[in-house]
Structure 1
Amino acid sequence: MRFGMFIPQGWRLDLVGIDPADQWKTMSDLARRLDRNDAWESLWVYDHFHTTPDPLPEATHEAWTLMSAFAAITDRVRLGQMCTCMSYREPTYLAKVAATVDVISGGRVEMGIGGGWYEHEWRAYGYGFPSAGDRLGRLREGVEIFRQMWTTGSATLDGKHYQVDGALCHPQPLQTTSAENRIPMWIAGGGEKVTLKIAAKYADYTNFDGSLDGFKNKSSVLEGHCKDIGRDFSAITRSANYNVMIGENDAQVQDRLAFYEDLMIKGGLPKERAAEMRANMATQPAVGTPEQIVAMFEQLQDAGMTYAVTYFAEAAYDTSGIELFEREVIPALAAK
């Protein structure tokens, strides 16, 4: 199994209490830490502008600015976003941005892409909030533009949502030498009628429901779409995201959950809402002791989930949970 980790960037109230002048150091120190440890294949950020679950006046650092900065300060670890919202940037522009970051990084970009969902954010930034059909239509046309720009150096498309005519992409991404060798495309989301159909055609990686039953169901739907278009289902790596609350024993796990609840309150959530979030977090698959988390991942691995992207809510303040995960979870699964 392969592993990635989200760097706290504020979106999930995970930089609360850290002076804005010190937040980049917090993020960059964690990025360098991952870069030094080859147990981690990738680092990730979210593409959002406002905090969740509510928009609050706390930092949310912009994803592609961070991508460029991480590209410059790391040497090995791969760099992804889970996931970039197609409609927040024109796909021609986004393809150029990703190509530039790929060059800066020496060929380490992973393109996570999706249709977008955070309505308050869309409207606040003046994007409106198109129907789900239009958002997914933009996703479909946008990934086609990516494919053309990264493999041929230009794109032309007369689509419903995007019209481009000879948009150039030079320099080419360093990863691009052919249609089979380019910036990897992660299609995020589990919509069965549209998103997974787009994934069947374009994705190198998918990212959807990480529960065992949910993962099996989405995988089955994806496999059906692959059969319909004659694509090899096994060519797509299936991944999922996991909120990790790990402890040597249940008492330590409860301490982490309590810290998480307190962090939400400090970020500005009402106590009742923070308690709800703690209760929800406690039900997540990757909450428990190392032995429990390894057993959970083994079941998912048997179902075909081979790439886990992890999130540690306390990472900006305390790396002991990350260290425990590195010491006892990753080695137990890395060779399987």
Structure 2
Amino acid sequence: MRFGIFVPQGWRMDLVGIDPDQQWDAMNGLARYFDEGDTFESIWVFDHFHTVPAPTEEATHEAWSLMAGLAATTNRVRLGQMCTCMSYRNPAYLAKVAATVDHISGGRVEMGIGAGWYEQEWRAYGYGFPSAKERLGRLREGVQIFRDMWTNGRATLDGDYYQVDEARCYPRPLQGTTAPGSKLNGIPMWIAGGGEKVTLKIVAQYADYANVDGTPEVFAHKSEVLRKHCEDLGRDFDSITRTADYNVFIAETQSELEDRFRFYEETLRKGGIPEARIESNVAAMRRGPAVGTPEQIVEALKGLAGMGLSYAITNFFEAAYDRSGIELFESQVVPALRG
């Protein structure tokens, strides 16, 4: 199994209590730690503007600005966003941004892309909140624009949602053809979401990586839906790497695990999250597959590997404050799953 990891950027309330003038050092320090090791193949950020589980005045650093900064300060790890919202930026412009960051990084960008869902954030920034049909239509057209600009150097499309006329992307990304059987040349494409009629069909058409819900039952079901779409389109199902995101709460004892959850609760409270939101959020976190002792997490991820999961993107809430959970995961979980 392959592993990636999120760098805290504030969206998950994971920079609370760190002064704004020290937050870049905290993020970049972790990125360089991951870059210097060999556990994590990739580092990731979220493409959001307001915090969750509720909007607050705490920091949320912008994803593609971080991509450019981290591209310049790291050397090995690949750089992704899980996931960029198509409608937040014109897709021709975004294709150009991604190509530039690919050059800054020496060809290490991963394009995570999705239709978007955070309604409060959409409306706050003046994007409205279009229907799911429109958001998915924008996703499909935007992905086509990406493909054309990265492979041909230019794109023309008179779509329902986007119109571009000889939009040029020079220099093209450094990266060439990705996964065998992929229809996309250039930056590897991660399409996130589990919509069975539209999103997973777009995955079958364009994606190198599928990113879906990582709970066992849902992962297995979405995988079979994706397989059917691939069969219908003549795409090799195995050419798409199946991935999922995991909030990791790891400890060697139950007492230490409770300490991690207690710190999570206290940090959300300090950041101004309402008590009802804290309670529901903690309850959801406790149900995740990557919660428990190293042995329990290994067992859960091995089961998912048997269902076809081959790339886990991990998130450690406490990463900016305490690396002990990451170190425990690196020393006891990863070797068992790589072996």
- Structure-2-length-normalised TM-score: 0.97
Once residues 281 and 216 of structure 1 are traced to their aligned partners in structure 2, the CA distance between those partners, rounded to angstroms, is 20
Query: What do the CA deviations read for 1:146-169 (whole angstroms, capped 9, x no partner)?
Result: 000000100011111111111000
Query: C-alpha displacement at 1:271, in angstroms?
Result: 2.8
Quickly say closer, same or farther: Cα 1:84–1:24, change in 2 above 3 A: same
Q: Which stretch of structure 1 is more off in the superposition, 247-256 or 145-154?
A: 247-256
- Residue 174 of structure 2 aligns to a residue whose secondary structure is coil
What is residue 173 of structure 2 aligned with on the other side? 173
Does residue 287 in structure 1 map to residue 313 in structure 2? no
What are structure 2's unaligned runs of at least 5 residues?
none
What is residue 235 of structure 1 aligned with on the other side? 239
Does residue 27 in structure 1 map to residue 27 in structure 2? yes
Among 251, 255, 258, the residue aligned to 1:251: 255
Does the aligned pair in 2 maintain the 1:258–1:278 contact within 8 Å? no
Does residue 189 in structure 1 map to residue 163 in structure 2? no
Does the aligned pair in 2 maintain the 1:212–1:300 contact within 8 Å? yes
Once residues 273 and 185 of structure 1 are traced to their aligned partners in structure 2, the CA distance between those partners, rounded to angstroms, is 33
What is residue 212 of structure 2 aligned with on the other side? 208
What are structure 1's unaligned runs of at least 5 residues?
none
Q: Which stretch of structure 1 is more off in the superposition, 251-260 or 71-80?
A: 251-260
- Residue 68 of structure 2 aligns to a residue whose secondary structure is helix
Query: C-alpha displacement at 1:76, in angstroms?
Result: 0.4
Superposition pairs for residues 25-104 of structure 1, below 5 Å? 25-104=25-104
Does the aligned pair in 2 maintain the 1:150–1:176 contact within 8 Å? no
Once residues 174 and 103 of structure 2 are traced to their aligned partners in structure 1, the CA distance between those partners, rounded to angstroms, is 6
Write the letter of the residue equivalent to 2:212: F
Once residues 287 and 168 of structure 2 are traced to their aligned partners in structure 1, the CA distance between those partners, rounded to angstroms, is 47
Once residues 132 and 317 of structure 1 are traced to their aligned partners in structure 2, the CA distance between those partners, rounded to angstroms, is 38
Does the aligned pair in 2 maintain the 1:247–1:288 contact within 8 Å? yes
- Residue 110 of structure 2 aligns to a residue whose secondary structure is strand
Once residues 114 and 276 of structure 1 are traced to their aligned partners in structure 2, the CA distance between those partners, rounded to angstroms, is 25
Query: What do the CA deviations read for 1:154-212 (whole angstroms, capped 9, x no partner)?
Result: 00111111111110001110003696542000000000010000000000001001011
Amino-acid identity (%): 66
Write the letter of the residue equivalent to 1:129: F
After superposition, the CA RMSD in angstroms is: 1.0
Query: C-alpha displacement at 1:249, in angstroms?
Result: 1.4
Among 250, 272, 275, the residue aligned to 2:276: 272
What is residue 4 of structure 2 aligned with on the other side? 4
- Residue 305 of structure 1 aligns to a residue whose secondary structure is coil
Once residues 297 and 280 of structure 1 are traced to their aligned partners in structure 2, the CA distance between those partners, rounded to angstroms, is 18
Once residues 53 and 279 of structure 1 are traced to their aligned partners in structure 2, the CA distance between those partners, rounded to angstroms, is 13
Structure 1 consecutive aligned stretches of length 4 or more whose deviation exceeds 4 Å: 177-181
Does the aligned pair in 2 maintain the 1:4–1:41 contact within 8 Å? yes
Once residues 47 and 114 of structure 1 are traced to their aligned partners in structure 2, the CA distance between those partners, rounded to angstroms, is 10
Query: What do the CA deviations read for 1:106-132 (whole angstroms, capped 9, x no partner)?
Result: 000000000000001001000011100
Write the letter of the residue equivalent to 2:119: E
What is residue 105 of structure 1 aligned with on the other side? 105
What is residue 221 of structure 1 aligned with on the other side? 225
Write the letter of the residue equivalent to 1:270: P
Query: What do the CA deviations read for 1:217-266 (whole angstroms, capped 9, x no partner)?
Result: 00000000000010000000000000000001111111101111111101
What is residue 144 of structure 1 aligned with on the other side? 144
Query: C-alpha displacement at 1:273, in angstroms?
Result: 2.5
Query: What do the CA deviations read for 1:9-38 (whole angstroms, capped 9, x no partner)?
Result: 000110000000000000000000010111
Does the aligned pair in 1 maintain the 2:98–2:109 contact within 8 Å? yes
Write the letter of the residue equivalent to 1:293: I
Among 325, 328, 333, the residue aligned to 2:329: 325
Write the letter of the residue equivalent to 2:152: T
Write the letter of the residue equivalent to 1:104: I
Once residues 240 and 25 of structure 1 are traced to their aligned partners in structure 2, the CA distance between those partners, rounded to angstroms, is 28
- Residue 256 of structure 1 aligns to a residue whose secondary structure is helix
Q: Which stretch of structure 1 is more off in the superposition, 159-168 or 79-88?
A: 159-168
Once residues 304 and 109 of structure 1 are traced to their aligned partners in structure 2, the CA distance between those partners, rounded to angstroms, is 24
- Residue 129 of structure 2 aligns to a residue whose secondary structure is coil
Once residues 194 and 264 of structure 1 are traced to their aligned partners in structure 2, the CA distance between those partners, rounded to angstroms, is 35
Q: Which stretch of structure 1 is more off in the superposition, 273-282 or 125-134?
A: 273-282
Quickly say closer, same or farther: Cα 1:180–1:271, change in 2 above 3 A: closer
Does the aligned pair in 2 maintain the 1:244–1:312 contact within 8 Å? yes
Once residues 310 and 98 of structure 1 are traced to their aligned partners in structure 2, the CA distance between those partners, rounded to angstroms, is 23
